[in-house]
Structure 1
């Protein structure tokens, strides 16, 4: 009889649990959890995504408006907006200044072609902001085209838009925090009024100081010879038109030794090889990206890669993708289904480095190949 009563009450409790969700939940919790249970979850080391492009110049209002795009540059980045806006960090080189009026610096007037002096209207700063750029290098050979007025206006505009800028002697670096990650950013070139690419000891000190106070240090350089004869990365100092344009292998390795986590190069107006050094990525030149008039985009100069890089919070390269675009002065930036930028970077990487430390697939996928 006692056994039957026990079975009866057990059955009654089971029926009540089925008809009362709260009772069922409590019963389950009591069954599965003991006072000594402890659940420890290790936070996942989420990858940081960097979208990086090379030279950008959205037309020039000097000497007149004929060198400005008809749409006020509003659609300049349209084909690449998704890749730029989704990245944690979107980088490019601002080739020229943001300034509405003003004369060129005196020594620049030696140029026979006035179209080589780049003065973008101030309102074009919004185009970069809308595209998703949050760091821009101003360390290049056109950032002083319009002297102090041009430099001051450029910094004022970009600061007002919340775009982090580095490269001028007056603004050698920038630090900021995004999504809990502390970033240090600095930019170098061999040109006047910029932080020198040639002073490696001083560059290492600047980078080391940034690394001491930040999680990730991003370094940009504008260097090397220019044009179709300068696709390769020599293991020596480069000279172009009598000017020292730096030893880019030496500089890049020294920068990483000092604490840099990503090296983003530009300046030759053509793409160059990539290398992995101490698990850190070096892009020796990303070529042109959006350059409306004033810059040749014929042939290989029209290759316009966008690098999507993934790094961990130690700065180590995890993988990436070269997204290939092309540009022309008539149609602007366009996606390239033939992946010509990726294929060119792949070929140059394999030609210039015996052990580049990474592999590039024909579709542009970048993977670490060895630990170095």
Structure 2
């Protein structure tokens, strides 16, 4: 029976991965070691989640690196980067050298191509991160070389990741809990957010092997004009950035326990659907250099999410942070991100069952 189950599971995985790739791509199933720990239900699992991370790019010049060489990038918030899972979106690649064909302007005035020095990966690891999405529009800024170096470094640091067609998912165990993680984006060489049936097939296959399935997406239009969650495809710069509402609900229908969104560079609403938590955009968390930090782009949440052993939402503490070009990443005593989440959730999801009455805390209303 066990061998039959594993055969069926392998078949489901193969079909899911095959359908996630683009035409002509022959990416094979990654050789993941499936955890064989017994099913174990803990009372509470803690997931800390943030949005985009790019702590300094050496391209097109070293002037886009912080003066402290990134060492203090997380100094003001590192006491909050704790949990069973500490997640962020890696908005760029790790690579020491090379030019990007993406940018014609190499003066640094309008070139949005990011390669963090390889040594910066250790700074991110030491800050506490153990799970990262690499499904976004900047992981491929330096082509195959940048993507391959990035996954090599993440592997060496034991940081779990997913999102490339060559690395669509990750399976791992921590403290007797079996986790699965997959990530999606609308960009080349990433697992597509716009192929919902394929995404659901992958999530369902992962759920067959994991206690907790975490899904990440990089989707939606960008900037302060796009804080709200529309229930339709978002077209931005003539690119289909996905229907993030349909995507989030679809992967939860398929078995996802937590959905973490990023991409718009601003904070968006949160929702609990079928007892599962969705963050539609976690904004710019730590983005040095070329990123706009004006207005809503400069504030973001650091979410400390609690779920039970079944993956159901219990509560979330929202630590509001802010960035500017001088002080960089700091705590926001005005709680801007929390109040923004409350306002947008009330507007975008009227009738929700979330309680925002305690400052900095999201919980379920008492029925």
The unaligned stretches of length 5 or more in structure 1 are 1-42
* Correspondence 1:367 to 2:363: yes
Q: Which residue of 1 aligns with 2:74?
A: 77
Return structure 1 stretches of 4+ with deviation > 4 angstroms: 110-114
* Correspondence 1:252 to 2:248: yes
Q: Which residue of 1 aligns with 2:289?
A: 293
Kept after mapping to 2: 8 A contact 1:342/1:362: no
Kept after mapping to 2: 8 A contact 1:61/1:68: yes
* Correspondence 1:150 to 2:146: yes
Distance 1:140 1:111, change over 3 A: farther
Q: Distance in 2 between matches of 1:68 and 1:362?
A: 39
SS of 2:158's equivalent in the other structure is coil
Which of 279, 284, 290 in structure 1 is aligned with 2:280? 284
Q: Which residue of 2 aligns with 1:30?
A: none
Bigger-Rg structure (1/2):
1
TM-score w.r.t. the length of structure 1 is 0.85
> What is the CA-CA distance between 1:293 and the residue it aligns to?
1.1
TM-score w.r.t. the length of structure 2 is 0.86
SS of 1:55's equivalent in the other structure is strand
Q: How many residues align?
A: 326
> What is the CA-CA distance between 1:122 and the residue it aligns to?
0.2
SS of 1:122's equivalent in the other structure is coil
Q: Which residue of 1 aligns with 2:49?
A: 52
Which of structures 1 and 2 has the larger relative contact order (alpha carbons within 8 angstroms, sep 6+)? 2
Kept after mapping to 2: 8 A contact 1:262/1:280: yes
Within a 5 Å distance, the mapping from 1:200-349 to structure 2 comes to 200-349=196-345
> What is the CA-CA distance between 1:114 and the residue it aligns to?
4.8
Q: Which residue of 2 aligns with 1:116?
A: 112
Kept after mapping to 2: 8 A contact 1:144/1:151: yes
SS of 1:69's equivalent in the other structure is coil
Q: Distance in 2 between matches of 1:335 and 1:109?
A: 34
Which of 195, 200, 218 in structure 2 is aligned with 1:199? 195
Q: Which residue of 2 aligns with 1:188?
A: 184
Q: Distance in 2 between matches of 1:69 and 1:299?
A: 22
Kept after mapping to 2: 8 A contact 1:138/1:166: yes
